[in-house]
Amino acid sequence: MTTTAIQTPPTAFTTLALDNWKLAIAGGLGVSISACLAMPATSSFWVVAVMMALVAVTFVVNAFRRHYYGGLLVSPAIAVLFVMNIFPLLWSLGLSFFSYQSNQQAIRFVGLANYSKLLTDDLKAPELWANLTNTAMFTVLTVSVQMVIGFLLAVLFAKQFPLRRYLLILVLTPMMLSVVAVGVFFSYYYDPTFGVISQIIKAWTGEQFILFSSKAGAVAGIVFADAWMWSPFVMLLVLAGLVSVPTYLYEAAAIDRVGSWRRFWTITFPYIRGLLMLALLFRTIEAFKMADLIILLTKGGNDTMTISYHVIRIANEQNKTSEGAALSYLLLFVVIVLTNLYLYIANRRSQGN
């Protein structure tokens, strides 16, 4: 759809009109700040909300009068994004500078104390560091295992063989299961008394096998469960790339007697590289947030605590809202740095080619 914006002179700043968004912002800010200073929080919150709504109305009226229909069409999405995402994000940023617990009424401004406590306190900082290290370890291990297995599965399913369709459905099933079901399933799978792994090993050695008795075992168990669940996701993406390679390229390569390794690097890989990078990005984001499987399998025991589980515990269970918010912002910072690094590498590679 094309829209024609009408070039009308902008409304003067001092004109009292419904499309004067500049005045609305200035007035809204003034009223909001005064309300925050003069009124109790329960009332000033609503004053600020009304001011924000007023600004939003002036934006809409302004867009409507000037026929910015494109902007009007996306405005509901922006409004939802603002209310559900950006506003809570800013709110929690504000909270991180206060001393506030959700189960207590008192609130006090403490500046950067929450951040400095998390980073320098001799009890909290080592815990944060240990949990970050564990998260990095889980991210590297689960994502690498999933990428390799997912890729190999995709190569397998790109070929035609009997019962392929049925096996494909079977392989995709874990991805569709609820994490809770997978967690319960694997907790029995690994159980030393009832579990099938222990029973098989016991048939050989005569001793029950306690996988979760060491950190290495617990990590292996969690990585395996996560890979079992999410490798099919990588496979699905890679498979989409593999089936999109035109067969005439392979035929030409066969005529030229190109070796299978070179055929893969020069024909197949360029087609799936983008999808592999996408799978890597999705899985890394998910792995960085890992908490559910750990809660279900080890409850963070055996030194398997991750940073997400740590945040859940601080913010939701211990009700230390401000400290949880500060920790979340530290995490956000890590994520932004990592994402930018990833995008930089991805861009450089695509430009290099």
Partner 1 sequence: MKYKTRLKSFATALSFVSLMTVGGAIKASAEDVVLHMAVPDWPPTRIMKDMFDREYKPASGNKVTLDVDFIPWPDFYTRVNASLTSGEKKYNMAVSDSQWLGAFIEGGYFRKINDLIDADPDLKKAMDGMHPKILNAYSTYPNSTANYYGFPQFPDILVSYARKDIFCNDEEQKNFKAKYNKKLPCTGEEFDDVDWELFGNIGEFFMRKKGDMLAGKPADDDFYGVGFQVGKGYDFSTSSVNSFIWQAGGDIWDETKAPDGHAEGQVNSDVAVKALDHMLSFIKYMPPVAKTGTMDIFKTDELFRAGKIALNVDWVGLGEASLDPKTSQVADKLVFGMAPGTRGADGKLNRTSQIGGQPFVLTTWNTDIINKEAVGFVKWWLSKDVQTEYASKGGQSAIKDVYSDPKYSTYRPWNRTWASSLDYQKDMWHVPQFYDLLTQQQDQYDLAITGKQDAKTTLDNVAKYQENLLKEAGLIK
Residues that bind partner 1 (CB under 8 A): 102-105, 123, 187, 191-194, 206, 208, 210-213, 218, 298-303, 305, 313, 316-320
Terminal CA-CA length for the chain: 35
Q: In the complex, what is the shortest distance from the CB of residue 103 to partner 1, in angstroms, rounded to a whole number? A: 4
Q: In the complex, what is the shortest distance from the CB of residue 228 to partner 1, in angstroms, rounded to a whole number? A: 20
Nearer to partner 1, 94 or 301 (CB): 301
Task: Identify the three-state secondary structure at position 276.
Answer: helix
Amino acid identity of 227?
A: A
Measure the CA–CA gap between 247 and 160, rounded to whole angstroms: 14
Q: In the complex, what is the shortest distance from the CB of residue 249 to partner 1, in angstroms, rounded to a whole number? A: 52
**Beta bridge pairs of residue 108:** 99
Supply angle C-alpha 319, 101, 37, rounded to 5: 150
Nearer to partner 1, 15 or 316 (CB): 316
CB 282 within 8 A of CB 238: no
Nearer to partner 1, 232 or 300 (CB): 300
Nearer to partner 1, 105 or 178 (CB): 105
Give, in order, the Cα–Cα distances in Å from 90 to each of 104, 249, 298. Answer: 21, 52, 34
Give, in order, the Cα–Cα distances in Å from 341 to each of 136, 286, 345. Answer: 15, 17, 6
- 227 backbone dihedrals φ, ψ, rounded to 5°: -65, -40
Nearer to partner 1, 3 or 193 (CB): 193
Task: Identify the three-state secondary structure at position 108.
Answer: strand
Q: In the complex, what is the shortest distance from the CB of residue 222 to partner 1, in angstroms, rounded to a whole number? A: 12
CB 57 within 8 A of CB 19: no
Q: In the complex, what is the shortest distance from the CB of residue 203 to partner 1, in angstroms, rounded to a whole number? A: 10
Nearer to partner 1, 184 or 337 (CB): 184
Look at the chain and count its residues: 353
Q: In the complex, what is the shortest distance from the CB of residue 329 to partner 1, in angstroms, rounded to a whole number? A: 21
